[in-house]
Amino acid sequence: MKIIDRYVLKQYGQAFFFALSCFALIVLISQFFDKIDTFLNYKTSPDRIIIYLFYRLPFWLVQVMPVATLLATLFSLSNMLRYNELTAMKASGLSIYRILLPIFVFTAILCGLTFIFNETLASPLEYKAKLYEKHKIRHEQGLDYLMRNNVIYFGQNNRIYNIRFFDGQNNTMKDVQIDEFSGNHILVKQLVAKAGQWQNNQWTFENGIVREFGQTGQNITREEKFNRINPVLPETPGDFQREAKKSTEMDYRELKDYIIRLRKNGLPANKEQVELGLKFSYPFANLVILLMGIPFALWTKQSSKIMNFGTGMVIAFIFWGTIEVGHALGENRVLTPVLAAWLSNIIFGSIGVWMLVKKVRK
């Protein structure tokens, strides 16, 4: 690596990690004050507050990573322009693209690391933070004794469970409906029972009815009442005890499996498909936002740090707003899920490339 490459990378890296550290501190403070009523009401000890905040920190670091990239670009390049360092580098025969190559390489690697960080740390800890708040801060019952109302569970073999009340302590359920669908999402069988209990490694249902449906899923071809029945079902009480995960709390594989189960059961999964796309597109936003920040930095070499910070935040909020617009359009089927997830990157990347090429040609 050349001396100039090391110097450019050092200037950019220092600005990036400084910005990321500042955002980490801001996130910790904002999360603390957001939950301060809960901490006070449940008399939470300082060590548990610290653990909870650090569980939540990785998720928010992923969210603010593009902003740290943008601010690092504006600050580092503006400083090098202000002291004519970029001018000297160009005078030595280097093009602006060659000068910025270390920054592009750094950010490309950052995109991959952000995806890995989100999959292996941020998403699992976000789910763990929710459970930690529930059981260690609010002192609610543990997962092994979880009482749940109105449970909807997507089981194996195209089954959907609708349970009015589940008792995780006694492994019983009340007012149960199990719908079984064909591969074409047509209802083929239905079990309705007043009660169910897990005994001898199998489910026993009482006082209900079993219905079978025709090819259209509309007409009942067979109906049989029962006092007790033991259908073969792969689900165990542990499946119904688990706290449901949000999309942000799932890794890519979990979310993809969840989407497959939704689609097999004939349920819409547009929202989840958009969020699956964002698992890839959002880490890539670091590179897109870099393309947007470079021309702004080259145009505003005389700007103060406050002005650069303001410019960066305006661009960031517009970028986040575009992500939400794309999410809404994808969820409502105006755009395909893939296009909706990548909409902000396409728009900002195109604008950034156009602005960069226009500035360099001047």
List pLDDT tens digits, range 68-87: 999 999 999 988 888 888 88
| Bridge partners of residue 174, in order along the sequence | 165, 195
Tokens 């902003």 found at: 67
pLDDT value for 145 = 47
Q: Where is average pLDDT lowest: 106-110, 252-256, 316-320? A: 252-256
pLDDT value for 325 = 95
Band of the pLDDT at 334, cuts 50, 70, 90? very high
CA–CA separation, 66 and 285 (whole Å): 6
CA–CA separation, 50 and 44 (whole Å): 10
In the predicted model, is pLDDT for residue 302 greater than 80? no
Instruction: List the end-to-end C-alpha distance of the chain, in Å, as a whole number.
Output: 29
CA distances from 259 to 184, 234, 253, 272 (A): 16, 20, 10, 7
CA–CA separation, 286 and 65 (whole Å): 7
Please name the amino acid found at residue 170: N
In the predicted model, is pLDDT for residue 144 greater than 50? no
In the predicted model, is pLDDT for residue 114 greater than 90? yes
CA–CA separation, 323 and 66 (whole Å): 13
In the predicted model, is pLDDT for residue 309 greater than 60? yes
Regarding predicted confidence, which is higher, 4 or 116?
116
Residues of the chain above pLDDT 70, percent? 95
- Burial class of residue 78 (count of CB atoms within 10 Å of its CB; 0-12, 13-18, 19+): buried
- Who contacts 20 (Cβ-Cβ below 8 Å, separation ≥6)? 61, 64, 65, 68
List pLDDT tens digits, range 226-237: 999 999 999 988
List pLDDT tens digits, range 23-79: 999 989 999 999 999 999 999 999 999 999 999 999 999 999 999 999 999 999 988
- Mean of pLDDT values over 184-207: 92
CA–CA separation, 331 and 53 (whole Å): 31
| Spatial CA neighbour of 331 closest among 271, 273, 276, 246 | 271
| Spatial CA neighbour of 100 closest among 9, 1, 3 | 9
Regarding predicted confidence, which is higher, 238 or 114?
114
pLDDT value for 149 = 83
pLDDT value for 254 = 86
In the predicted model, is pLDDT for residue 142 greater than 70? no
* Residue environment code for 174-191, b if the CB has 16+ CB neighbours within 10 A, otherwise e: eebebbbbeeeeebbbbb
pLDDT value for 198 = 94
List pLDDT tens digits, range 254-292: 898 888 877 766 677 899 999 999 999 999 999 999 999
Helix axes 3-34, 96-117, angle to 10 degrees: 40
Please name the amino acid found at residue 186: I
Please name the amino acid found at residue 97: Y
| 146 three-state secondary structure | coil
Q: How far is CA 152 from the centre of its chain?
A: 22
What's the CA dihedral at 282, 287, 290, 295 to 10 degrees?
A: -120
Q: Count other Cβ atoms within 10 Å, centred on residue 3.
A: 7
Average pLDDT, the chain: 89
Band of the pLDDT at 185, cuts 50, 70, 90? confident
CA–CA separation, 32 and 119 (whole Å): 25
Taken in order 31, 36, 42, 47, the sign of the CA dihedral is: positive
pLDDT value for 265 = 65
The structure's pTM equals 0.77
pLDDT value for 301 = 58
